[in-house]
């Protein structure tokens, strides 16, 4: 009887340890990395929000940042809603740094954007 109980306890402890190292610990590491990313946001950074909005950070507050998503169009979003920083801020070029994409996926998304505004592609009349 004692061996069976010891074996059950050993299985339970093993299961809890596996669950911790496979689920809880990686999630904590990911949350810590996101918190570091969010706290490092500064004006001039180009970011993607969790909702998929691309924008340039204009102003930062404690829990809110102001993004410019188009010319003369600013929106306020929660700081925690930023999913990724695409490029470092323009102000960092003065310190000798260059704007370089953080990930290849972000670089591909930026390359897919139209190069110039008002090219006429989006101004065509719809056909009925």
Distance, in Å, from the CA atom of 122 to the CA atom of 69, rounded to the nearest integer, reads 17
How much is the pTM?
0.56
Greater confidence (95 vs 126) lies with 126
Q: Could you give phi then psi for residue 99, rounded to 5 degrees?
A: -75, 110
Rounded alpha-carbon distances, angstroms, from residue 2 to 9, 16, 33, 118, 127? 11, 21, 45, 79, 80
Domain 42-113 classification at class level: mainly beta
Q: Other CB atoms closer than 10 Å to residue 64's CB: what's the count?
A: 13
Assign 123 a pLDDT band (cuts: 50, 70, 90).
low
């Amino acid at each position: 009887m004692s061996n069976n109980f010891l074996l059950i306890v050993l299985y339970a402890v093993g299961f809890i340890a596996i669950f911790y190292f496979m689920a809880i610990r990686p999630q904590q590491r990911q949350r810590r990395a996101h918190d570091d990313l969010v706290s490092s946001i500064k004006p001039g950074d180009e970011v993607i929000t969790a909702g998929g909005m691309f924008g340039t950070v204009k102003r930062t507050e404690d829990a809110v940042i102001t993004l410019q998503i188009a010319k003369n169009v600013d929106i306020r979003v929660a700081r925690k809603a930023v999913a990724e920083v695409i490029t470092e801020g323009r102000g960092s070029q003065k310190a000798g740094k260059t704007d370089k994409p953080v990930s290849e996926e972000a670089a591909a998304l930026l390359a897919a954007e139209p190069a110039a505004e008002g090219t006429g592609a989006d101004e065509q009349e719809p056909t009925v």
